[in-house]
Amino acid sequence: MAALVHRLYGVPLSDLGPFRAIHRDLLKTLDMREHTYGWPIEMIVKAARRKARIVELPVRYRPRFAGQSKVGGTVRGTILATYRIVRVTLQYGVSREP
């Protein structure tokens, strides 16, 4: 996914990491609509289309101690998340919205 975002929007990412920070004023202009797995990529894509500065920083985190990931822990979760992320990435790639 990171390669697709780089190709479509010129944002050099290595991953769609778990943490984001954004200025409140910019976030308010993005008109966020996704409520599930597509939310992080929607933020990145819409910010990139507005020529906002996007910086990727390494984040360390510890392995999961209990439970199962909703995304990588099941085939259904993986397929659903992949579908939502790809759909949102492409949706805003062809949209006329700024």
pLDDT for 39 equals 86
Q: Is the pTM of this model over 0.85?
A: no
pLDDT beneath 70, residues of the chain: 18, 68-71, 93-98
pLDDT of residue 96: 62
Closest CA to 54 of 22, 24, 32: 22
**22 Cβ contact partners less than 8 Å away, ≥ 6 residues apart:** 43, 47
Distance between CA atoms of residues 42 and 30, nearest Å: 9
Torsion over CA: 35, 38, 44, 50 (sign): negative
Q: State both tokens at 34.
A: 């996704």
Q: What pLDDT is stored for residue 94 in this prediction? A: 64
No. of helices (H) and no. of strands (E), the chain: 4, 0
In sequence order, the 6+-apart residues with CB closer than 8 A to the CB of 91 are none
* pLDDT in the model for residue 78: 83
Which residues are CB-contacts of 53 (< 8 A; sequence separation ≥ 6)? none
Residue 4: per-residue pLDDT: 85
Summarised one tens digit per residue, pLDDT across range 66-92 is 776 666 778 888 888 888 888 888 887
